[in-house]
């Protein structure tokens, strides 16, 4: 048995003019270069047969991706201890089979091949599966095309240049002090949060924060009757029972907290998800009063509090009582979920328990991204980006509202004063039909029923939750057209 890690220089000369790129210096690699290649020759047959079998397995299994450049004959032969002609013959036969391709100036590469057609049961499953998504109206992400690349890159350069040496050592579980300092200033200014850097813990987004908190809380957690099942699942995994409280156009019915044995409550005060209303001031006060009277804790999910259109800014509930509220935020909606950056603003008594749950080293959020976000905040780029995105998303929201009013005037649109999604209120019992029609038209969206807590006594609400931020500008009108087609297919009356 022969095996080798092949470490071949891309520019090394090849014995074949097909593989040599020395005469074609301007040709850019078209795919992964394949400079490290592990092959194991084993089994019966000649070395050529063993090599071909190893290459077939690597290609067919996907271990060698289409476009991957293979090593030159001589390099591979030397590393495997076989003859150069053996490698050349194996390459030639695999080219004939269509697994490899050879072109002058490009070398020998894994071929781009169409996937084999499914047969039998697999074919049936494929044919009956949902159609491919053409229009993404899921309420999950901002428009990825609007990420502020130039400003982010400028901040990254400044941040890395100015970073002290210890920034590139073992990470502090609290997060970089530069980011915690910038966040304390920004959150106080823009959201009315009362804190200092020592009470901020950086994490890898809201879900990570909820996992950490779920592990240190005691007793059940009250949640809004309509909310993300994913969040309820995180709490359940942490051993916390979830108790639903009702929601309406004034947000969560926080007066119901007193009738539960919950020790904490997860709320979306700025923009209830998914129904869309803000938590009424009286209900905010009731929630804080409950936390004080029962030694409870409010978990404030401020997932899209920066985006408001037709109302004055609503401050964070945390500002009413920092010792009974955990404020949770992230960059998932404001910048990109790909950054995996979030933060917890904690009561003093919870800082050490959260750090103990997180661990002695920062393992979740990269230091470079933390330093970059700190600079991004400090230089005002975050504020400028949010102002641009408010204008963009308001324009989209207005276009959606006008289009629906013109083509489906009997559909009520709600929850649109802020945020990145809207609710289309449907006639009773029509949500399943609307979802089925939408999916046949290639629309990705969700219905309200999917958000209802299974133990809630609230009635099932029929509606569609439309994320109007995700599609790029050029694709949004077509998505609206498909949405209107789905809605016009619903029975009236």
Quickly list DSSP for 50-95.
HHHHHHHHHHHTTSS-TTPBPPPHHHHHHHHT--HHHHHHHHHHHH
| Residue 27 reports pLDDT greater than 80 | no
On whether residue 243 sits in a domain, the answer given is: yes
Domain-embedded: residue 118: no
Q: Which percentage of the chain shows pLDDT scores above 70?
A: 88
Q: What is the mean pLDDT of residues 425-437?
A: 94
Question: Mean pLDDT highest for which of 118-127, 242-251, 354-363?
Answer: 242-251
Query: How many domains does the chain contain in total?
Result: 3
Terminal C-alpha separation, the chain: 75
Q: Is the whole model's pTM more than 0.85, yes or no?
A: no
As a whole number, the mean pLDDT across the chain is 87
Residue 33 has pLDDT above 90, yes or no: no
Neighbours of 424 (CB within 10 A): 25
Answer with the one of 383, 402, 421 that is the final residue of a domain.
Answer: 383
Q: What is the structure's pLDDT at 462?
A: 95
Q: Is residue 120 part of a domain?
A: no
The reply to whether 378 and 238 lie within a common domain is yes
For residue 355, tell me if it sits in a domain.
yes
Domain membership of residue 401 (yes or no) is yes
Q: Provide the domain limits for residue 34.
A: 2-110
50 lies in some domain: yes
- What residues are paired with 421 via a beta bridge? 467
Residue 8 confidence (pLDDT) above 50: no
CATH number at residue 75: 1.10.10.10
Q: Indicate if 238 and 298 belong to the same structural domain.
A: yes
Q: Please, which pLDDT band fits residue 36 given cuts at 50, 70 and 90?
A: low
Considering 3-12, 368-377, 408-417, the range whose residues carry the highest mean pLDDT is 368-377
pLDDT at residue 195, as a whole number: 96
Is the domain of 165 the same as that of 187? yes
Beta strands in 78-227 (DSSP E): 100-103, 107-110, 135-136, 200-203, 221-224
The last residue of one of the domains, among 348, 383, 418, is: 383
Give the torsion through C-alpha atoms of 269, 275, 276, 278, to 10 deg. -30
In the predicted model, what is the mean pLDDT of residues 330-350? 96
pLDDT confidence band for 42 (50 / 70 / 90): confident
Are 440 and 340 found together in one domain? no
pLDDT in tens, 210-257: 999 999 999 999 999 999 999 999 999 999 999 999 999 999 999 999
pLDDT mean over 142-157 = 96
Q: Would the pLDDT of 421 be above 60?
A: yes
Once rounded to an integer, what is the mean pLDDT over residues 48-75?
Answer: 88
Last residue of a domain, one of 365, 383, 401: 383
Write down the pLDDT at residue 1: 53
Average pLDDT over residues 66-79: 87
Of 56-60, 62-66, 116-120, 189-193, give the lowest mean pLDDT range.
Answer: 116-120
Same domain, 394 and 432: yes
Both 434 and 327 in one domain: the answer is: no
Q: Is the pLDDT of residue 197 over 90?
A: yes
128 within some domain:
no
Q: Which residues face 135 on adjacent strands?
A: 443
Read off the pLDDT of each residue in 403-431 and give the average, rounded to a whole number. Answer: 94
Task: Give the mean model confidence (pLDDT) for residues 83-107.
Answer: 84
Which CATH number is 245's domain given?
3.40.640.10
Residues in CB range of 71: below 8 A, 6 or more apart: 6, 8, 34, 35, 37, 79
CA distance 212 to 234: 10
329 shares a domain with 392: no
Q: Rounded CA gap, 384 and 84, in Å?
A: 61
Same-domain pairing of 185 and 327: yes
Residue 126 pLDDT > 50: no
Q: Is the pLDDT of residue 7 over 50?
A: no
User: And the tokens for 462?
Assistant: 């029929």
User: Across residues 274-284, what is the average pLDDT?
Assistant: 94
Residues 379 and 398 in one domain: no
Q: In this structure, are 272 and 399 located in the same domain?
A: no
Q: Do 100 and 140 lie in a common domain?
A: no
The pLDDT, as a whole number, for residue 23 is 35
- Is 199 in the same domain as 305? yes
In a domain? residue 126: no
């Amino acid at each position: 048995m022969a095996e080798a890690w092949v470490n071949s220089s891309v520019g090394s000369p090849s014995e074949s003019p097909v593989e040599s790129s020395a005469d074609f210096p301007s040709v850019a690699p078209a795919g992964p270069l394949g400079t490290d290649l592990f092959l194991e020759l084993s089994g019966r047959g000649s070395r050529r047969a063993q090599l071909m079998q190893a290459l077939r397995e690597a290609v067919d299994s996907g271990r060698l991706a289409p476009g991957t450049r293979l090593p030159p004959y001589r390099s591979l032969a030397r590393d495997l201890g076989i003859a150069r002609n053996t490698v050349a013959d194996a390459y030639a036969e695999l080219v004939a089979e269509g697994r490899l391709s050879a072109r002058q100036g490009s070398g020998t590469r894994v071929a781009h091949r169409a996937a084999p057609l499914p047969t039998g049961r697999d074919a049936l499953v494929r044919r009956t599966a949902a159609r491919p998504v053409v229009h993404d109206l899921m309420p999950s992400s901002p428009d990825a095309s609007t990420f502020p690349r130039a400003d982010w890159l400028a901040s990254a350069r400044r941040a890395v240049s100015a970073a002290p040496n210890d920034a590139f050592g073992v990470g502090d579980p609290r997060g970089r002090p530069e980011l915690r300092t910038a966040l304390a200033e920004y959150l106080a200014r823009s959201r009315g949060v009362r804190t200092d850097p020592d009470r901020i813990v950086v994490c890898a987004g809201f879900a990570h924060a909820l996992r950490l908190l779920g592990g240190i809380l005691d007793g059940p957690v009250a949640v809004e009757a309509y909310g993300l099942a994913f969040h309820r699942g995180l709490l359940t995994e942490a051993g916390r029972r979830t108790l639903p409280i009702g929601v309406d156009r004034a947000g969560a019915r926080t007066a119901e907290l007193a009738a539960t044995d919950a020790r904490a409550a997860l709320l979306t005060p700025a923009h209830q998800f998914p129904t869309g209303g803000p938590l009424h001031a009286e209900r905010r006060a009731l929630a804080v009063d409950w936390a004080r009277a029962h030694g409870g804790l409010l978990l404030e999910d401020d997932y899209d509090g920066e985006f408001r259109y037709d109302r004055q800014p609503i401050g964070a509930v945390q500002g009413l009582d920092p010792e009974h509220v955990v404020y949770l935020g992230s960059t998932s909606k404001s910048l990109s979920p790909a950054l995996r950056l979030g933060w917890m603003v904690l009561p003093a008594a919870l800082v050490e328990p959260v750090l103990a749950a997180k661990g002695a080293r920062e393992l979740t959020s990269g230091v470079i991204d933390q330093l970059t976000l700190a600079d991004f905040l400090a230089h005002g780029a975050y504020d400028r980006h949010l102002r641009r995105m408010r204008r963009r998303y308001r324009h989209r929201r207005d276009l959606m509202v006008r289009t629906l009013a013109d083509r489906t005037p009997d559909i009520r649109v709600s929850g649109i004063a802020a945020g990145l999604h809207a609710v289309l209120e449907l006639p009773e019992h029509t949500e399943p039909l609307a979802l089925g029609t939408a999916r046949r038209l290639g629309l990705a969206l969700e219905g309200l029923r999917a958000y209802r807590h299974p133990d809630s006594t609230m009635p099932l609400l029929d509606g569609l939750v439309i994320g109007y931020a995700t599609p790029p500008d050029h694709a949004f009108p077509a998505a609206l057209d498909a949405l209107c087609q789905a809605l016009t297919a619903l029975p009236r009356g």
